[in-house]
Amino acid sequence: MNSASSLQFYLTTGIVVGNKYRFMVLAQNSIGYSAPSNFIEMMPATTPSSVTNLVATSVTSSSISISWSFDNTQNGGTPITDYQVYWDRGQNG
């Protein structure tokens, strides 16, 4: 059995975060093209921008409520699924 397989690659540039891209590959020789490969679909993404306008909206002797804004067009290319809120006791005085 003759194994003449080799890994090939292609680098595409100029992609835009949040846009979907589909790829498929055809092999070519002097006779023509192969049947197409399967398609893969990719969407480049990055981390979202920071929330803005963080403010305390209510402060009582036993609780603090906060609110913030987020520009959904700055989501890094995929929908925001959650927010993580961290807090500590800070410094007294």
Is pLDDT at 10 greater than 70 in this prediction? yes
CA atoms within 13 A on the CB side of 33: 6
Stronger pLDDT, 16 or 52, i.e. the higher one: 52
Tens digits of residue pLDDT in 14-28: 998 888 999 999 999
* Rounded-to-integer distance, Cα 25 and Cα 54, Å: 48
Is 66:84 a contact under the CB 8 Å cutoff? no
* Nearest one of 32, 1, 2, 18 to 78, comparing CA atoms: 18
The pLDDT value recorded for residue 59 is 94
